[in-house]
Amino acid sequence: MKVIDQGVCAAKGFLAGACHCGIRKNQSKDDLALIYSQSLCQCAAVYTSNKVKAAPLKVTKKHLENGMAQAIIVNSGNANACNETEMESANREAQCAADFLKCEKENVIVASTGVIGQPLPISCIEENIQQIKLGNDQSFKASQAILTTDTIEKSIAVEFEINGVVCHMGGICKGSGMIHPNMGTMLAFITTDCNISSNLLEECLKENVKKTFNRISVDGDTSTNDMCVVMANGMALNAPVTKKTDSFTVFKQALRFVMEELAKKIAADGEGAGKFLTCTVKGAKTEQDAQTLAMSVCSSSLLKAAMFGSDANWGRVMCALGYAGVDFDPEMVDIYFKYKDQVIQCCKDGKALDFDEEKAKDILSQNEIEIISDLKQGDQQVSCWGCDLTYDYVKINGDYRT
């Protein structure tokens, strides 16, 4: 497997494009994007666990009942959620994409992100979609158009071989705030030219999302609009992947890599974030125990605030482990802070060590930090990803709607 360029356009037969249609007042920012496959795709998706689901998700779930799709239309600046016209607007958004692309409405996936509770000005989309110029070099433009409070675009692409045939996979995503497990204000769109059956594609996506997007946290909130979609058009012309052979393993590894890279980019770009945190729990009895504990540390507002202040307050790590609801022996826990090859141990067997505060401060002043908790009770290890909690997070969200 090799990392390549072009994001969602890396795979054969996929085009993308974007324009400013007028949802956002800022005319310099695109707010409408399209991703289109020149042939019909096998498709799988996962959605937010939030009980409140926006209309685009409902329309998309209906359109994907047959596991097929050909296009994705995404608008930013408005979530099209919790308003009286949301279903009508979502259906009109799908129809105008279908008309523009000359495909069936039922083969269009609809996604929206932005402010909740305000009607989507659907006429802006219908009147301006013609401005989009599709191309196989427009992934970056599309990835920028789907952003909200994100500060950077997020994309990745790889090539890999299936039975000697080169296949490609690429993805773009958005997400910065309202991020927590079981998805979180995030949209992720992944394309591949690999020929793989819909049931294996769905299984692969669901298994990988648990170990990637469900292992990040920014602020503990989960949105109404989250979705992750994978489209496979088979244009690489590899022998179809229909069974769990070595070919399936290769595909699953490629998808895991793409999804994990996108997940990390979301965590690193958390609203107001200055530091990217990797929270690792090792020596756990089970993988689920390790994940639950790592997410508890990663989600702790007190721990995140300590990381913002470069304070080696390891007690907050121990506290977050303790309320995670997992059985372990606190008197066996070791805690470390790490930056690259610099490591400092602050806790041994659940008790404080006399550590070098200046060295700890230096490590925690870096923009990438790993927090390691060793339970010494098993052989399972999991890393989850997040960011520090800063003053800017409050500033961004204090007047997000207004």
**Where in the sequence numbering do the catalytic residues fall?**
185
Neighbours of 188 (CB within 10 A): 28
Residues 313 and 261 in one domain: no
pLDDT, tens digit, for every residue of 138-194? 999 999 999 988 888 999 999 999 999 999 999 999 986 444 545 445 899 999 999
Residues 355 and 242 in one domain: no
Residues 254 and 315 in one domain: no
CATH of the domain at 45: 3.60.70.12
Residues 47 and 186 in one domain: yes
Give the strand pairing for 334-339 and 368-374: antiparallel
The residue out of 242, 268, 294 marking a domain boundary is: 268
With a pLDDT cut of 90, the percent of the chain lying above it is 82
Residues 238 and 292 in one domain: no
Residues 308 and 255 in one domain: no
pLDDT, tens digit, for every residue of 6-23? 999 999 999 999 999 999
> Looking at residue 131, what is its pLDDT?
98
The number of domains in the chain is 2
Give the position of tokens 């666990």.
49
> Looking at residue 389, what is its pLDDT?
85
Residues 107 and 146 in one domain: yes
Neighbours of 194 (CB within 10 A): 30
Nearest to 177 by CA among 155, 214, 149: 149
Residue 317's SS3 state is helix
CA 161-163-166 angle, to 5 degrees, is 30
Give me 228's structure tokens: 């992750």
pLDDT, tens digit, for every residue of 247-264? 999 999 999 999 999 999
**Alpha carbon distance 290, 283 (integer Å):** 8
The residue out of 233, 250, 268 marking a domain boundary is: 268
> Looking at residue 391, what is its pLDDT?
79
Residue 89's SS3 state is helix
Name which residue leads in pLDDT, 10 or 268: 10
Residues 178 and 54 in one domain: yes
pTM over 0.85: yes
Name which residue leads in pLDDT, 215 or 168: 168
Cα 319 to chain center, whole Å? 27
> Looking at residue 223, what is its pLDDT?
63
Cα 43 to chain center, whole Å? 18
Kindly report which listed range (60-64, 177-181, 275-279) carries the lowest average pLDDT score. 177-181
Q: Which residues are annotated as a binding site?
A: 148, 174, 185, 271, 397, 402
Where in the sequence is the domain holding 349, given as residue range(s)? 276-398
Residues 195 and 286 in one domain: no
Instruction: Average the pLDDT over 109-122 and give the result.
Output: 94
pLDDT, tens digit, for every residue of 349-368? 999 999 999 999 999 999 99
Q: Which residues are annotated as a binding site for substrate?
A: 148, 174, 185, 271, 397, 402
**In contact, 97 and 132? CB cutoff 8 Å:** no
Gyration radius (Cα) of the chain, Å: 22
> Looking at residue 179, what is its pLDDT?
47
Is residue 25 very low, low, confident or very high in pLDDT (cuts 50, 70, 90)?
A: confident
The answer to whether residue 319 scores a pLDDT higher than 80 is: yes
If you average pLDDT over every residue of the chain, what do you get?
93
Phi/psi region, residue 237 (left: phi>0; alpha: psi -120 to 50; beta: rest), is left
Residues 187 and 281 in one domain: no
Give me 86's structure tokens: 């949301």
Residues 183 and 286 in one domain: no
CATH of the domain at 312: 3.10.20.340
Counting Cβ atoms within 10 Å, is residue 325 exposed (0-12), middle (13-18) or buried (19+)?
A: exposed
The residue out of 216, 240, 268 marking a domain boundary is: 268
pLDDT, tens digit, for every residue of 377-401? 999 999 999 998 887 777 777 776 6
> Looking at residue 185, what is its pLDDT?
59
